[in-house]
Structure 1
């Protein structure tokens, strides 16, 4: 699915974000809705060797894994006709070229009562991607996140900002995978003798 096919004969388009897009979209959009998609669970199973890690120490970032009993919360952004081409070109580079994600169309259900479900574009990294790291325990994932940094910052920031979003906008949702990794990272540093001043800003 390429950009031209996506925007063909469309006057608007929604994009669903469940990772860094929830707090750092960095593209033009008209409106945003907090909500969820069904049939997928968020997992820190994808590797990142540019934004939150490097070639030697790839960071751990979120992708979606099919699970018919699960749902994943995030943000859907609406792009209008004048915004679509430029915004999608940006996302193509950020998510597909640099991140290794593929696109799918999913049904997004807004949290706001009275707002109808809508179709949204979503970026998903699959196991056939060379950057895919796969399943691991929360402790192993936390250990990787704790030591990784990339061109846009520390891997810890990615994790903590996502957890912060969930608590702020979806306080009723218990994201066990996300919060268990966050707790494991905090435990790593709380058990260390002295935290570097440069790392203190990543802790809540």
Structure 2
């Protein structure tokens, strides 16, 4: 992958722009390892219509035309931060106003199963989401859009969550592509208490890993880039507490 250049510091709300004082995460590698177990891939989720190659190409062409001649920015707020699937040439922090991170999507594949469903993170309406803007290389822009769609959009129903949003940066607003923004349908459960979410994340695991692992990697990489999402920070502590209780550990033992 092309080396990514940090462009500049983004605008972050004053309440978030602070040093974190050495407070470590409660959710650790050791605790996350307890959430992992082998699971078979059960195949496409029920009531989802897999995206065909022709439909993927149509969506990619549409996004290519909509991207125009200027820079193509992708707004990453979750796994795209720590597991990107594109050729980025620079990054900067950005704030998506009117959106917030939410574990609101029930999933029975990837990081969950039919018997132990998980919750996937998406962007939901309201609030503010501090994240990372990646600028894609101009070379093979269509090919990179195909890769992103193949990774992020598994079904026709999911295609509606791909959108362009304004993101605030230190130099003003940029238009950025985002995935899983404003999901709808029977899988969506909004405004779940964090305690309920934590119980799910601590227990759900699929063939791609556990929900606790996903949360851990997201919080860890946000912290490394100077971003603290207050809800996720509280959630990682709740998930750590759940894992300690599930496995009959003391809190101290769980941190080693």
| Contact 1:7 1:13 survives alignment (8 Å) | no
| Contact 2:87 2:137 survives alignment (8 Å) | no
Q: CA deviation at 1:11?
A: 5.3
- The 1:128–1:158 alpha-carbon spacing in structure 2 relative to 1, beyond 3 Å, is same
| Separation (CA, whole Å) in 2 of partners of 1:126 and 1:117 | 20
- Show CA shifts across 1:104-148 (max 9, x none): 1111223xx4x4431101112545334323331111111111111
Greater share of strand? 1
Q: Under a length normalisation based on structure 1, what TM-score does the superposition of the two structures give?
A: 0.81
User: What secondary structure, in the 3-state scheme, does the structure 1 residue paired with 2:83 have?
Assistant: coil
Give 2:230's aligned residue. Answer: 176
- The 1:83–1:153 alpha-carbon spacing in structure 2 relative to 1, beyond 3 Å, is farther
User: What secondary structure, in the 3-state scheme, does the structure 2 residue paired with 1:4 have?
Assistant: helix
Q: 1:128 aligns with which of 184, 187, 200?
A: 184
Give 1:76's aligned residue. Answer: 133
Instruction: Identify which of structures 1 and 2 has the higher relative contact order when contacts are C-alpha pairs closer than 8 Å and 6+ apart.
Output: 2
Q: Under a length normalisation based on structure 2, what TM-score does the superposition of the two structures give?
A: 0.66
Q: Which runs of 5+ in 2 are unaligned?
A: 1-57
Give 1:95's aligned residue. Answer: 152
Q: Which runs of 5+ in 1 are unaligned?
A: none
CA RMSD of aligned residues (A): 2.5
Give 1:35's aligned residue. Answer: 94
| Separation (CA, whole Å) in 1 of partners of 2:208 and 2:140 | 24
Give 1:23's aligned residue. Answer: 82
Q: How many residues get paired?
A: 191
Give 2:197's aligned residue. Answer: 141
